Amino acid sequence: MSTPRSRFAALLAGATALAAVTTAPAYGETVKLTILGLGDAYSFSEEDGRGGFARINAVARAERAANPNTLYVFDGDMLSPSLLSGFDKGQNTIDLTNLVPFDIAVPGNHEFDFGPENFLEKMAASKYPWAAINITNADGSPVPGLGGVMMKDVGGVKVALIPVAQDTSPEVSSTGDLVFLPTVDTAVAAAKQARDDGADIVVGVVQTNMANDRALIASHAFDVIMSGDDHSYATAYDGVTAYVETSIDGRFLSPVDLTVEIGADKDGKRTIDWVPMFRFIDTAMVEPDPESQAMVDAFTAKLDESLNVEIGTTETALDSRRNVVRAEESAMGNLIADAIRARTGADVSIANGGGIRADRTYDPGTVLTRRDILTELPFGNVTVVTELPGSQLLAALENGVSQVEKGAGRFPQVSGMSFVYDPTAPAGSRIASVTVGGADLDVNAVYKLATNDYILGGGDGYSALGGGNVLVDAGNGNLMANDVMEYILETGKVTSTVEGRIKKVGE
């Protein structure tokens, strides 16, 4: 196993020309690089005193002020989902990030939630470069305005930024005709090429899931990887690659300092040696940037205003009272379940009654606003999609009705299916029959289920929903509330009724 130093010496053996092309510090000098990564920044405002762009921008400004050799990189996902982005298609995040521009930004899957044209428009409105080496037009030509590998001279150190998008984006977003090349293979090839081209430090800026991250780290082609998509915070260093998983909404930030030592081997060839130092910033401890905070405040007012916008009229009576949505079929439950099924193309959907919260009725003729839907679905749950055998769907429904006598929130509001149950039978064997699309449930068939991230993760006792083939996970889905708003906006009306999807035995 080679040490980093000897590996670099070997890799840079052919790079003697480098000293000539960079205004390099003298051999033996050290240069401190700071790399700050951000990704999955959806919410313009803080949550519980943590995250949000006023704090993120404060940290980025402070890092740049403290060290001019700072690279500030965005590893994907800002345009969606959020309540305000459901209204302005993500312009708020562009405005806020323009205040403290990135050195490079990689499009995450959510950058395409409003279609490729919206991404191109937002890219043009950005005061910083967007880039991805693995996105092309359908004919293989480059996407105008979207860059590739970026070589930067940072204090005399030649840094290659390798921007990589998640290749599953077409499956979870609206990428149109854009082509996504394989994430890991494309990234590793580009990193090796950048090294051959004389990069001292190769930085991956990647919107990739954990499995791909592991493959990228294991490739040893990168010195640093800043990764988004997973929403978690993690740092790692295996002696070769320093890695940061960049959290969500900038709640936790981790600038990585590289003390880069530039030297020469016995043949006089340039060598690069470095060690990483990870810093941890809990943004709850950060004073918000005043200019950014003023913009955040303006967006807060705009969001509030946007919630008053009318999205459609209900032609039928809707009921979201607590005792209804947790005990019987409800027209509001049907509306929500229909919306997430329609928006995802799933066969069936389940919405837990406990997630429907406004606890009220709507008379026919009521004009619905965005605020009404948000009040019904206040938890910020995300629409997810999984493939499951009928047996697990049945088990999920059994869980759903297992505590109906207690008014438990797990009661299932459904779409694409109907069921009959016996509330007096023992919990676990209450479901008498289930039909999907009019036919009896086949316990061996695989169904595509839309639901929310909370119960897919086992919330409300829904462990039966786990273990399937997840097609859209929590990191990749839309806000349920936005899905319902869009569903109503499509026709401008609601016609949901109680139609016999859920019946008790003998009814």
Q: Is 391 exposed, middle or buried (0-12, 13-18, 19+ CB in 10 A)?
A: middle
Tell me how far, at minimum, the Cβ of 380 lies from Zn ion, in Å: 16
Minimum Å gap between C-beta 166 and Zn ion is: 6
Nearest CB to Zn ion, comparing residues 54 and 106 = 106
Nearest approach, Cβ of residue 405 and Zn ion (Å): 41
Residue 451 φ then ψ, to 5°? -155, -165
Sign of the alpha-carbon torsion through 424, 429, 430, 433: negative
Who contacts 313 (Cβ-Cβ below 8 Å, separation ≥6)?
365, 366, 367, 368, 492, 493, 494
CB of 434 to Zn ion, least distance (A): 34
Asked whether the CA dihedral 85, 87, 89, 93 is positive or negative, the reply is: negative
Nearest CB to Zn ion, comparing residues 343 and 370: 343
Query: In three state form, how does the secondary structure of 464-477 look?
Result: HHCCCEEEECCCCC
Q: How far is CA 199 from the centre of its chain?
A: 30
First-to-final CA distance of the chain: 72
By C-beta, is 244 or 494 nearer to Zn ion?
244
Angle at alpha carbon of residue 124, lines to 120 and 126, rounded to 5°: 115
Which among 266, 327, 311, 293 has a CA at the least distance from the CA of 61? 293
Q: Rounded to the nearest whole angstrom, what is the least distance from the CB of residue 173 to Zn ion in the complex?
A: 9
Least distance from C-beta 24 to Zn ion, angstroms? 37
CB nearer to Zn ion: pick between 256 and 382: 382
By beta-carbon proximity to Zn ion, the closer residue of 228 and 333 is 228
Query: From its phi and psi, is residue 492 left (phi > 0), alpha (psi between -120 and 50) or beta?
Result: left
Closer to Zn ion at the Cβ: 244 or 401? 244
Handedness of CA 438, 408, 383, 363 (dihedral sign): positive
In angstroms, what is the minimal distance from the CB of 149 to Zn ion?
A: 21
CB-nearer residue toward Zn ion: 248 or 318: 248
**CB of 97 vs Zn ion, minimal distance in Å:** 16
Residues found near Zn ion in the complex (CB under 5 A): 77, 108-109, 229, 475
Smaller CB separation from Zn ion, 110 or 326 = 110
> Do the Cβ atoms of 337 and 350 come closer than 8 Å?
yes
Cis? peptide before 423, omega within 30° of 0 = no
